[in-house]
A and B are shown apart, each in its own frame.
Chain A
């Protein structure tokens, strides 16, 4: 019965990383801790640390998951994408940073929750490139923005979808 793997391999932002259990990581380490403190990927934030705020969202095999409630050892063999893994001109990143619209406002003020929102938006648009406003609200309902930029965030997601569509047409 081989049950205790000693080598943990995780693909982080397109690159496989190898960790040794007990030396690099421990059983009780969360994925959020590993990414932030061991790999320096501090884009994701740990806010509530219990799955209620969405700030630590990363993509695991393309799905939005909470890295604070994922054990690092259980990410073995999986593909993780953090906000650092997105291109600088990623349409979602651009839409969030450019968002400024009378009546809706910006998509961020302090920016603490933004990496989480962006990653959930990536997961949404990968599956559904032209979401309706209610689909956007549903997909992002696991996030909290204490600055209250929800209207701007929803607009940014819709704009990101439009950018993706326009980009697709050009190529």
Chain B
């Protein structure tokens, strides 16, 4: 790795001040598992002048079970999220998503906040030494359109850039299904609007803004959530498709449903048509099937990734069926 300045920040304000000082040429490091890989391979045309370590900021490593919500600090690791008894019981989709991310080592190191801030895994974008100067690096085209796009978007490219790289996070769809909010150094953003694709960015964060916590509202007692992932390997692998669902039922009728897919589009994608198909109905094989078909009705696969459509449909169906039983019932 090329050299860089290394700073330990002792407060959020200090981290933000350092980010402003470097004006976009500094990176935040917590787990570092995504960032250091990128830096070692020199995938980007620019290289950070400084890394700001936020592991030294006190208080950001707490999981607080507050009135009406749970708050997960930016330094809480994925293994702690996966093992936390309240998250497992009440925010099941998130605990399952965290436990299916990467490997035990990477979950000991990587944080939930880092998992939603991670960069895309498109193999053209990630090729060492900035071999493909693609749209996401300020270049002229997306190499996946005519190239090998077997792991790319089946729901079209990003509007501004025409890039077909998918968002690789496992926890992101769970957070969106659970209606989480991302708390940053300056505002609170819904998880759904947090993901925002553009040249060199995958989130709505500004250059001098950091995630400080993730808050999830406690849902109704009748709500049940689930997360499912399809990947080629069980461990150390990114999803081909994943799906999270959070469904509230009363008297066996669906009152409210949030279903979110990821790794199939440029940002995590709510399956709104599938949600609508479930409202006021009873979850069974037939309704789950209908909703799953609705979820992929808009799919526009590329040359090499049509196989992802039936996988997506199956995951939606299974995620809905996994929510069928009612908590404690």
The answer, yes or no, to whether A131 is at the interface (CB within 8 Å) is no
Contact pattern, A 99-136, Cβ under 8 Å of B = 1, otherwise 0: 00000000000000000000010000000000000000
User: CB within 8 A of B3: which of A27, A51, A141?
Assistant: A27
CA distance A149 to B51 in the complex (A): 39
CA distance A132 to B29 in the complex (A): 35
> A46 CB to closest chain B CB, in angstroms?
11
Q: Which residues of A contact B18 (CB under 8 A)?
A: 3
- Please report whether the interface of chain B is mostly helix, strand, loop or mixed according to DSSP: mixed
The answer, yes or no, to whether A54 is at the interface (CB within 8 Å) is yes
The answer, yes or no, to whether B6 is at the interface (CB within 8 Å) is yes
The answer, yes or no, to whether B142 is at the interface (CB within 8 Å) is no
B3 touching A28 by the CB < 8 A rule?
yes
The answer, yes or no, to whether B280 is at the interface (CB within 8 Å) is no
Chain A residue at minimum C-beta to C-beta distance from B106: A51
CA distance A103 to B223 in the complex (A): 47
Q: Which of B8-16, B213-221, B255-263, B284-292 contacts A (4 or more CB under 8 A)?
A: B8-16
B interface residues, Cβ below 8 angstroms from A = 1-10, 14, 18, 29, 32-33, 36-37, 40-41, 51, 53, 55, 102-106, 108-109, 234-236
5 additional A-B residue pairs with CB within 8 Å, beyond A4-B8, A27-B3:
A27-B6, A52-B236, A65-B109, A66-B105, A142-B106
The answer, yes or no, to whether A63 is at the interface (CB within 8 Å) is yes
Q: Which residues of A contact B36 (CB under 8 A)?
A: 30, 69, 71
Greatest chain B CB density within 10 A among A2, A5, A66, A138 is at A66
A28 touching B1 by the CB < 8 A rule?
yes
Contact pattern, A 57-71, Cβ under 8 Å of B = 1, otherwise 0: 100000111100111
> A154 CB to closest chain B CB, in angstroms?
14
A142 touching B3 by the CB < 8 A rule?
no
Q: Which residues of A contact B41 (CB under 8 A)?
A: 50
> Which residues from 43 to 90 on chain A have a C-beta closer than 8 Å to any C-beta of chain B?
49-52, 54, 57, 63-66, 69-71, 73-74
CA distance A3 to B57 in the complex (A): 11
User: CB within 8 A of B234: which of A3, A28, A54, A141?
Assistant: A141
Given known A-B contacts A28-B4, A142-B103, A69 and B235 have beta carbons under 8 A apart: no
A51 touching B33 by the CB < 8 A rule?
yes
Q: Which residues of A contact B6 (CB under 8 A)?
A: 4, 27, 71, 73
B14 touching A5 by the CB < 8 A rule?
no
Q: Which residues of B contact A1 (CB under 8 A)?
A: 10, 14
